[in-house]
Structure 1
Amino acid sequence: MALSSPGTGSSGTDSPGTDATPAGAPGPDPSGSGTTAAGSPATDSGSASATRPTRGLLPLLLAGNTAMYALYVGVPGMLLALQIEDIDPAGKVANFGLVSGISAIFATVFNPVAGALSDRSGRRNPWILAGGLLALPVMLLLGSVDTLLLVTIAWCLGQAVMNVYQAALTSVVPDRVPPAARGRASAAVGLGLPVGSTIGALVGAAFSEDYRTGYLVLGAVVAATTVLFTACAREQRMPARAPLPVKVQIAAFGSALKDHDFRWAFLGRALLVLGYFAVAGFQLYILKDHIDLPAGLGAEEAVAVLMPLNAVAMAVSTVLGGWLSDRYDRRKLFVGASAALAAVALLVPAVSTSWTAMLVFSVVNGLGFGCYMAVDTALVTMVLPKAEDAARDMGVLNIANAGPQIVAPFAASLVVSLSGGYTALFLTAAVLSVLGALAVRPIRSVR
């Protein structure tokens, strides 16, 4: 999974060559509105179209992101973890860390590459359609294998096709959403994470004894949503861009990191995501081996309880955090405070192994992480260097999401193995969240 900033990635323009989003542009970026003719400015801020999303695009983006996160949560968070445990119960922690880390490399590579290719083609829908439809046969393959090597290969393919889908889908926002609609867009796309997480957890729990069917259900959801999105969210072709030499493209991927504010935003995101996934990726095993569950409540059922609880908290803080940061024009304050809140949440199960502690963790962590992702998305849209490199620079930012997911499984399994339990893992993740909160302080161009 390459966790994406819900709809971030570019400066709020509709087409390459327009100006970057003004520093005062409202709101966390996600979601969609207002397509214009290719090559023309997104909108005039004084026009009606500058404040009204194109009819139907917001719910379509919500649906597209919901399907994506349903698969991202249902597969590694439940089905894949159970499948790996069945293959080798004694080595499940190390094996899950290995599979997750290797597959995350594919997410890291395919996301920015697919984004750059869609930039060059001037189209998003064909890439969304290809990635989404390929998810179905890949999920069929994943459900049919029964060795660690084949599981790794199949999930790497899953990460590859889903990140083609994700890179193009998140680029719809900077292409078609005028700055004045960013607050509502944030709510629409940002809600895809909690809603999709809940669906993924429930599907995973429902098919915990039948992996193949569970994988097929999640793949079918993505494929069906893809067809719906590309059929209904029509796009106007942007001017295709001439291909660049490979060396130039590689250098271009790192050029955004030369910008002072973008570099600190990148670092803060990477630290928080590393702490988040060090714990989130092992949630099923934590419930089995660390938490004292009530009698009659299995770990799979516990996940199905925690995820909706977390999702509700995340949905509330996503919408509220985006709105408040718009109203007070204080992005750094909300980003730092929400990252600190996530750190506090991680301390709760570190000091208590009770089921109540895990419930509290789920709610507080959802509040912190939801607000962080919504407001940090807004902050990032204001510090991205180039409007004409929308998807490419978004892909660079998504390395801060996907890159730590490579490190997190290896690091988490190492911490658990060396410490003999999960308490040290929670404490380590809390420290990373605090560092993520502090990383936004040096940013200069955003309050």
Structure 2
Amino acid sequence: MTLSTRPDIPRGDRELSRRPARLGRLGPLLFLVHAGWMLPFAAAGTLIPAIMTEIDPDRKVALYGTLATTGSLASMIATIVIGTLSDRTRSRLGKRNPWIASGGVVLAIAATTMSFTSNFPLLVALWITFQVGLAVVLAPLFAVLPDRVAPSNLGKASAVIGFGQLVAQSLGSVVAGALITVPREGLRWLPWLIAVTAVLFVLLAPEADNRNEPREKGSARALLRSFIPPRDRDFLLALIGRFLLLMSFMSVLLYQLFVLTDYIGIGVGEAGRVIATGGVVMAVSSGAATVLSGPLSDRLGRRKPIVITASLIFAAAETPLVLSHSLTAFYTFLGVGGFAYGIYIAVDQALLADVLPNGDDRAKDMGILNIANTGPQVLAPIVSGLVVTAVGYRSVFVIAIALALASALVLLPLRRVR
């Protein structure tokens, strides 16, 4: 009788025994697939506002807020639904890979179609489709970490994922800056990178046949229950802490084009060059932090102090924008904030994996935790848009500082994570 079928061995122990001691080929593939989805997504954060400016310069903030909010709401719902379905999927290709391979094609088709229209309701519908397609990729992809990586390697794997996302996010800013005057060209072709890297990941990191694995019977009621977070204190604290920190960062980053043109006072063309240069600044600072922080967390066996430190540095990074309307303040935000983001993202996925309460619902629970990715994209455009309209950009930066500090305070009481 094989280890995987022996009933006398607890399921958790059997799963740990199947996770390799080294990352091996999975490490580079995690880097590739996470970089592959982040680069087009990061570029879209600049290209979409540029398209809104083309459509209606006077209503660009309102249009962008509506588009971002509806897409992100759809993404939050889809992430939990797809995560739940992935946990219960049984196939020859496993429970994650079939979803990962299909979502990229859907979103790429939606983005390409967006590049050919200026009809705003159609753009909203297509952006919702894009976000749902991305959720089909990401909900099962985030579960790969707790599924297939040994606890002793979670920090390294999280650093690999974080480094891929950071490099791609910075390159996305460079690419978007270069395409700022022709944003539709970028939206037309860049998202196909997600489809290509997702398919490569599935082909080169095959998942075991799981058709004989038992599963909970599916029902509409069970699907609705999946939207309820686990009643677990550490899980909820990690969710709130992540949400607050990313809300702080997104409140500024998602509006960087408008911050440059409306707050600092430069033209769209120059703003594109600044965003491209800022992408390089952020890549260098965040990349250095990521390479150091992930392995350090494994060596020390500690995640919480590293993530809290990142929150405090975030708050410091956003302070110069409150004090100055200058490009120096903007570059300082990207450089110091990028360093903080690098520290955070290198350890964050490992911290989230450490607080999962139930091995049977990993994709669903990781999907709920990763609402902290999409939630700020829903609220940041709304909150920042309202605040900018009422009292200006400086108040947005003050709120962002407060959110970063609140994130540090929320993470302090975590018990299962040192």
With structure 2 as the length reference, what TM-score do the two structures score?
0.91
In structure 1, what is the Cα distance between the partners aligned to 2:264 and 2:319? Answer: 14
Q: Is the 8 A contact 1:112 1:398 kept in 2?
A: no
What is the CA-CA distance between 1:106 and the residue it aligns to?
1.0
In structure 2, what is the Cα distance between the partners aligned to 1:135 and 1:292? Answer: 34
In structure 1, what is the Cα distance between the partners aligned to 2:67 and 2:312? Answer: 30
The alignment of Structure 1 onto Structure 2 pairs a total of residues equal to 403
In the alignment, residue 184 of structure 2 is paired with which amino acid?
R
Q: Deviations over 1:245-275 (max 9, x none)?
A: 222332244241x111111111111111111
Q: Which residue of 1 aligns with 2:411?
A: 440
RMSD: 2.0
Q: Is the 8 A contact 1:121 1:240 kept in 2?
A: no
Q: Which residue of 2 aligns with 1:196?
A: 168
In structure 1, what is the Cα distance between the partners aligned to 2:250 and 2:190? Answer: 21
Q: Is the 8 A contact 2:96 2:140 kept in 1?
A: yes
Q: Deviations over 1:422-444 (max 9, x none)?
A: 11111111101110110011212
What is the CA-CA distance between 1:297 and the residue it aligns to?
6.7
Runs of 4+ in structure 1 deviating by more than 4 angstroms, as ranges, are none
Q: Which residue of 1 aligns with 2:252?
A: 279
Q: Is the 8 A contact 1:68 1:222 kept in 2?
A: yes
Q: Where do residues 91-102 of structure 1 align in structure 2 (5 Å cutoff)?
A: 91-102=59-70
Q: Does 1:155 align with 2:155?
A: no
In structure 1, what is the Cα distance between the partners aligned to 2:384 and 2:265? Answer: 21
* From 94, 108, 111, the counterpart of 1:139: 111
The 1:358/1:130 distance shift into structure 2, 3 A limit, reads same
* Structure 1, gaps ≥5 residues long: 1-16, 21-39
Q: Does 1:19 align with 2:12?
A: yes
* Structure 2, gaps ≥5 residues long: 1-9
| 3-state SS of paired residue (1:58) | helix
| 3-state SS of paired residue (2:371) | helix
In structure 1, what is the Cα distance between the partners aligned to 2:183 and 2:299? Answer: 46
What is the CA-CA distance between 1:292 and the residue it aligns to?
5.1
Q: Which residue of 2 aligns with 1:398?
A: 370
Q: Is the 8 A contact 2:111 2:191 kept in 1?
A: yes
With structure 1 as the length reference, what TM-score do the two structures score?
0.86
What is the CA-CA distance between 1:349 and the residue it aligns to?
1.1
| 3-state SS of paired residue (2:379) | helix
Q: Does 1:251 align with 2:221?
A: no
Q: Which residue of 2 aligns with 1:36?
A: none
Q: Which residue of 2 aligns with 1:166?
A: 138
Q: Is the 8 A contact 1:73 1:200 kept in 2?
A: yes
Q: Where do residues 380-391 of structure 1 align in structure 2 (5 Å cutoff)?
A: 380-391=352-363
Q: Deviations over 1:45-83 (max 9, x none)?
A: xxxx742124x22111111111110121111x2210100
Task: Report which structure shows greater RCO (CA 8 Å, sep ≥6).
Answer: 1
Which range moves more in the overlay, 184-193 or 137-146?
Answer: 184-193
| 3-state SS of paired residue (2:15) | coil
| 3-state SS of paired residue (1:52) | coil
Q: Which residue of 2 aligns with 1:63?
A: 32
Which range moves more in the overlay, 212-221 or 61-70?
Answer: 212-221
What is the CA-CA distance between 1:378 and the residue it aligns to?
2.3
In the alignment, residue 267 of structure 1 is paired with which amino acid?
I
The 1:392/1:127 distance shift into structure 2, 3 A limit, reads same
| 3-state SS of paired residue (1:288) | helix
* From 78, 88, 91, the counterpart of 2:46: 78
